[in-house]
Amino acid sequence: MNSSMVIYEDEFRQIADICERLRRDTSAKAVFLIDKDGQLILATGQYAHLDTTALASLTAGNIAATGGLADLIGEREFSILFHEGEHDSLHISLVASQVILVVMFGEETSVGLVRLRVRKVNEELTKIVQELMQKAKNPGADSPFAEISDEDIDILFS
């Protein structure tokens, strides 16, 4: 049950390329990929001024709450959320029911275009995410934590 989500270098680069392409194709300001538990996987675009840790946690909370609502009315999930602001908007969608894709965009583009492009990359991302989840199920012996000592742990808290 306590399986982890694990991201490796190769997949990370593939995912990053897809997100960056999505951002360019939609002229979006930024694209984020967030694990459903609220951990930021990656960010691309203009996000230096944003607290991405907070963004990740709130997005996950948002998806969790709307997922609860979906359940309540007998839906499996709401796969897309859209928050429209005066200047900037957020398009939030689920990938493989496990990872959250957030596109932040301004007046340079339209929600229609974003929605279209997101649908296109969703398949690509789904494939990679499913592979990662498969890998995480059989972590193998190469866990970096297999060899940590009690001292390593103590040092963290000294």
Partner 1 sequence: MSFINYASREISCKIVYYGPGLCGKTTNLQYIYAKTNPEAKGKMISLATETDRTLFFDFLPLALGQIRGLKTRFQLYTVPGQVFYDASRKLILKGVDGVVFVADSQIDRLEANIESLDNLRSNLFEQGYDLDKLPYVIQYNKRDLPNVASVEELSELLNPNRVPEFSAVAPMGQGVFDTLKAVAKQVLVELRKGG
Residues near partner 1, by CB under 8 A:
1-9, 12-13, 35-39, 41, 51, 53-54, 57-58, 61, 64-65, 67-68, 139, 143-148, 152-153, 155-157
Question: Other CB atoms closer than 10 Å to residue 17's CB: what's the count?
Answer: 12
Q: Which of 65, 63, 70, 125 is nearest to 92 (CA)?
A: 63
Q: Min. distance of Cβ 138 from partner 1 in angstroms?
A: 11
Q: Which of 43, 19, 47, 40 is nearest to 32 (CA)?
A: 43
Q: Min. distance of Cβ 26 from partner 1 in angstroms?
A: 24
Tokens linked to 103: 């596109």
Nearer to partner 1, 80 or 136 (CB): 136
Nearer to partner 1, 13 or 24 (CB): 13
Q: Describe the strand order of the beta sheet including 89-95 as a list of residue ranges.
A: 40-45, 30-35, 99-105, 89-95, 80-83
Q: Min. distance of Cβ 110 from partner 1 in angstroms?
A: 30
Q: Min. distance of Cβ 137 from partner 1 in angstroms?
A: 12
Nearer to partner 1, 39 or 130 (CB): 39
How far apart CA 117 and CA 126 sit, in angstroms, is: 14
How far apart CA 114 and CA 108 sit, in angstroms, is: 11
For residue 29, the SS3 value is coil
Nearer to partner 1, 37 or 119 (CB): 37
Nearer to partner 1, 35 or 115 (CB): 35
Q: Min. distance of Cβ 45 from partner 1 in angstroms?
A: 17
